Amino acid sequence: MKNSGDACNSRNYGFQKVETRATVGITGFKKWRCLRQRECGLGKKEAHMKLAHLSDLHLGKRVNEFSMTEDQRYILKKITEIIRQEQVQGVLIAGDVYDKTVPSAEAVELLDEFLTGLSRLGVPVFLISGNHDSAERLAFGARLMAGSRIYISPVYNGKIAPVMLEDEYGEAAVWLLPFLKPATVRSALEGRRCEEMQEAAAVTAEAARPASTDEPARLAGEDATVAAAAETGSADEAAAETEKPVSAYQTALQAAVDLLEVDTAKRNILVAHQFVTGAGRCDSEEVSVGGLDSVDASVFAPFDYVALGHIHGPQSIGRETLRYCGTPLKYSFSEASHQKSVTIVELREKGEVQVKAVPLVPLRDMRKLRGTYMEVTARSFYENQNTRDYLQITLTDEEDVPNAMEKLRTIYPNLMRLEYDNRRTRSNRSVEAASEEPEKSELELFEEFYRTQNNADLSEVQRSFVEGLIQRQKEGMA
């Protein structure tokens, strides 16, 4: 059994895993927790649970060929300071930690710095992989880092155990569900099914083994074998009747959630990385044609707070506690109007959750400017601006300005994009708009084809079947 000295050496404090608190004892735990708070300079803790929600760091990202490493290092330091000031007891990072499945050395170094800083504060981290991450690479050393309270979702195999936290309102479970595709869930379910069959076969063999060489014992063993086989056969038939094919994201995620042993009497926090129907998208996100990757918000009903990643704009879907926190930085000009922030979640008793956003101020903002060349180059225009911001400038001159990009960068060195808006460009856009056919999904194109051939629309059953075929084809090509 660990004593309070052992616990102190672990650098853990605040909301402990239930087992740790039980071994230290209530009185010893309170004294030890106060000591750790004074050592770290975090002040008095709130009695309720306070968590920070982050996602889509996209470490190592380049925007219009500009490296964002310096900006990311700056904003991660600001986030760490907010976590310290808010006296947060846990950090939820909902996927897309890296921008690429094989991250650069700089990106890995950034994550190492960030996690090390949080560990020094004594703040536990709950991190999952997103669609931009390699689940295998991100999970490397996860079991080792769990000793420092850095909890990283493993490669999905259908088995997820929650990390238990506790405050004065009781226990709370944090579930880490990485980004899932239907094929991933299907493979995990098949793996679990094989394990169950092997266990059933072992039980059958054990029951069939005779206790002696006597004839009655042999007969009893045969009877047990027949009974066990019959029972297994019945279970197989029942499973076959109830099992649905996992082909769509909605079905896959519902199956994954159903596998979790969620105790709804307690508070439950889910960290996930999926597209929920109704969420607003940005240009910097990966889009699935036809919205085949979308899931309904009802899938997340068992959870008191759902920390979502994948969407870059901060927003809640359906209820305040089903939330995308958004990216900490702007990664496209479609996000120019966004106010980036850190979401702070406070959980008290069951059903009582408060959410707030703490604004983030970047090293360099991402903005749009508009005007004639003479206007945007006038000192009176830019002297009160941060000219080192990342900019998209739209010139309204009727004639193109020779070497405009090069000239403008003498004033605005981080000019990313230059556009024109005049009679010529508006005329070109009108011609393009008139000639272009609206982009349609594979499903929409097939529906039109079916309607032409059969003079009737697809039924819901047919539509669902075709949608599944398209999705499986996409996964096979991926």
pLDDT given at position 367: 97
pLDDT digits 0-9 by tens, 172-204? 999 999 999 998 998 888 866 666 666 666 666
- Taking residues 334-360, report their average pLDDT: 95
Using a pLDDT cut of 90, give the percent of the chain over it. Answer: 60
Highest mean pLDDT out of 39-53, 415-429, 432-446: 415-429
The reply to whether 107 and 166 lie within a common domain is yes
- Asked if residue 19 belongs to a domain, the reply is no
The reply to whether 171 and 306 lie within a common domain is yes
pLDDT at 249 over 50: yes
What's the structural domain count of the chain?
A: 4
The reply to whether 191 and 339 lie within a common domain is no
- Least reliable range by pLDDT among 242-246, 307-311, 318-322: 242-246
pLDDT digits 0-9 by tens, 144-160? 999 999 999 999 999 99
- Asked if residue 146 belongs to a domain, the reply is yes
pLDDT at 289 over 80: no
Number of neighbours of residue 416 by Cβ within 10 angstroms? 16
The reply to whether 166 and 296 lie within a common domain is yes
Distance, C-alpha 303 to centroid of its chain: 15
pLDDT given at position 288: 52
- Asked if residue 20 belongs to a domain, the reply is no
The reply to whether 93 and 162 lie within a common domain is yes
The reply to whether 166 and 266 lie within a common domain is yes
- Asked if residue 336 belongs to a domain, the reply is yes
- Asked if residue 225 belongs to a domain, the reply is yes
Instruction: To the nearest 10°, report the CA torsion of 464, 468, 470, 475.
Output: 160
Residue found by looking up tokens 């703040």 in the block: 123
CA distances from 179 to 12, 73, 104, 153, 310 (A): 29, 25, 21, 10, 9
pLDDT at 236 over 70: no
The reply to whether 277 and 323 lie within a common domain is yes
The reply to whether 154 and 278 lie within a common domain is yes
Higher-confidence residue of 477 and 354: namely: 354
Query: Which of 311, 344, 359 represents a domain boundary (last residue)?
Result: 359
- Taking residues 230-246, report their average pLDDT: 43
How would you classify residue 170: left for phi > 0, otherwise alpha for psi between -120 and 50, otherwise beta? left
Number of neighbours of residue 364 by Cβ within 10 angstroms? 18
pLDDT given at position 248: 85
The reply to whether 143 and 270 lie within a common domain is yes
- Taking residues 379-401, report their average pLDDT: 96
- Taking residues 341-369, report their average pLDDT: 96
pLDDT at 326 over 90: yes
Q: What is the mean pLDDT of the chain?
A: 81
pLDDT given at position 444: 83
pLDDT given at position 27: 38
Residue 465 lies in domain: 442-477
pLDDT given at position 24: 33
SS3 (DSSP) at 63 = strand
Residue 165, domain CATH: 3.60.21.10
- Asked if residue 31 belongs to a domain, the reply is no
Query: Which of 343, 359, 375 represents a domain boundary (last residue)?
Result: 359
The closest of 405, 407, 427 to 418, measured between CA atoms, is 405
CA distances from 168 to 22, 49, 90, 188 (A): 14, 9, 16, 37
Residue 385 one-letter amino acid = Q
pLDDT digits 0-9 by tens, 221-231? 444 444 444 44
Higher-confidence residue of 43 and 364: namely: 364
pLDDT given at position 31: 39
Element (H, E) at 115: helix 105-121
- Taking residues 299-326, report their average pLDDT: 95
pLDDT given at position 93: 98
- Asked if residue 463 belongs to a domain, the reply is yes
Q: Identify the DSSP state of 335.
A: G
pLDDT digits 0-9 by tens, 21-67? 333 333 333 433 444 444 444 444 446 899 999 999 999 999 999 99
SS3 (DSSP) at 233 = helix
The reply to whether 416 and 464 lie within a common domain is no
pLDDT given at position 430: 59
Higher-confidence residue of 283 and 340: namely: 340
List alpha helices for 209-299, DSSP H: 215-242, 249-259
pLDDT given at position 38: 42
pLDDT given at position 203: 65
The answer to whether residues 266 and 283 touch, using CB atoms and an 8 Å cutoff, is: no
Q: Identify the DSSP state of 338.
A: -
pLDDT given at position 82: 97
Phi, psi of 383 (to 5 degrees): -65, -25
Residue found by looking up tokens 């990664």 in the block: 331
Query: Which of 326, 359, 392 represents a domain boundary (last residue)?
Result: 359
Q: How confident is the model at residue 408 (pLDDT cuts 50, 70, 90)?
A: very high
The reply to whether 196 and 310 lie within a common domain is no
pLDDT at 281 over 90: no
The answer to whether residues 255 and 246 touch, using CB atoms and an 8 Å cutoff, is: yes
pLDDT at 317 over 80: yes
- Taking residues 290-313, report their average pLDDT: 88
pLDDT at 465 over 90: no
pLDDT given at position 194: 67
- Asked if residue 13 belongs to a domain, the reply is no
The reply to whether 222 and 310 lie within a common domain is no
Using a pLDDT cut of 70, give the percent of the chain over it. Answer: 72
Q: How confident is the model at residue 459 (pLDDT cuts 50, 70, 90)?
A: confident
Phi, psi of 125 (to 5 degrees): -120, 135
